[in-house]
């Protein structure tokens, strides 16, 4: 019995179980001098299908401001942000990760929210109370949702 348990423990220690993915906290995102982020925020590859879904729901809701021809079935698509058709041809994966995480770092005058940021805001509101928020805010998207959006955006090539 002792040999069996020792064998199980050794197999687990020697690679039977994958290590947990390292999630980069919002305050520790390694932006380069141009605002790009080379490394994954979640340590897990993005899911383009979930990224596509995030384009039209929840905290993502990218189509409120951006147009994506592939998503025409959604009806109204935004016109105040750049068209995202061909995003994978215009930006690198690292560029897109940086833009989604904190667009204001690259484009200071943009209206685009910083989706993976928790502090440094001028005056965020506390819900609908009219009062300033207290403490650190949660990011709009999780690290994995940022990776999913980036994975989807990397599928958008010029036709």
CA angle 52, 56, 60 (to 5 degrees): 85
Running DSSP on this structure, what letter comes out for residue 132? B
* Predicted TM-score of the model (pTM): 0.81
**What is the span of the domain harbouring residue 69?**
35-116+139-159
CATH code for the domain of 155:
1.10.760.10
What total of structural domains would you count in the chain?
1
pLDDT at residue 17 greater than cutoff 60? no
Supply the DSSP symbol for 138: P
Which tens digit of pLDDT belongs to each residue from 24-71? Answer: 999 999 999 999 999 999 999 999 999 999 998 777 899 999 999 999
């Amino acid at each position: 019995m002792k040999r069996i348990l020792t064998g199980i423990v050794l197999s687990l220690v020697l690679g039977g179980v994958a290590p947990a993915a390292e999630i980069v906290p919002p305050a520790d995102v390694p932006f380069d001098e141009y605002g790009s982020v080379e490394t994954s925020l979640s340590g897990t590859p993005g899911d383009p299908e979930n990224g596509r879904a995030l384009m039209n729901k929840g905290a993502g809701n990218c189509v409120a401001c951006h147009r994506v021809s592939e998503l025409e079935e959604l009806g109204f698509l935004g016109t105040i942000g750049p068209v995202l058709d061909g995003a994978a041809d215009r930006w690198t994966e690292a560029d897109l990760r940086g833009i989604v995480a904190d667009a204001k770092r690259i484009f200071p005058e943009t209206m685009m929210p910083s989706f993976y940021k928790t502090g440094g805001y001028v005056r965020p509101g506390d819900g609908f109370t009219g009062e300033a928020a207290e403490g650190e805010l949660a990011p709009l998207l999780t690290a994995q949702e940022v990776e999913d959006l980036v994975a989807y955006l990397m599928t958008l090539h010029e036709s």
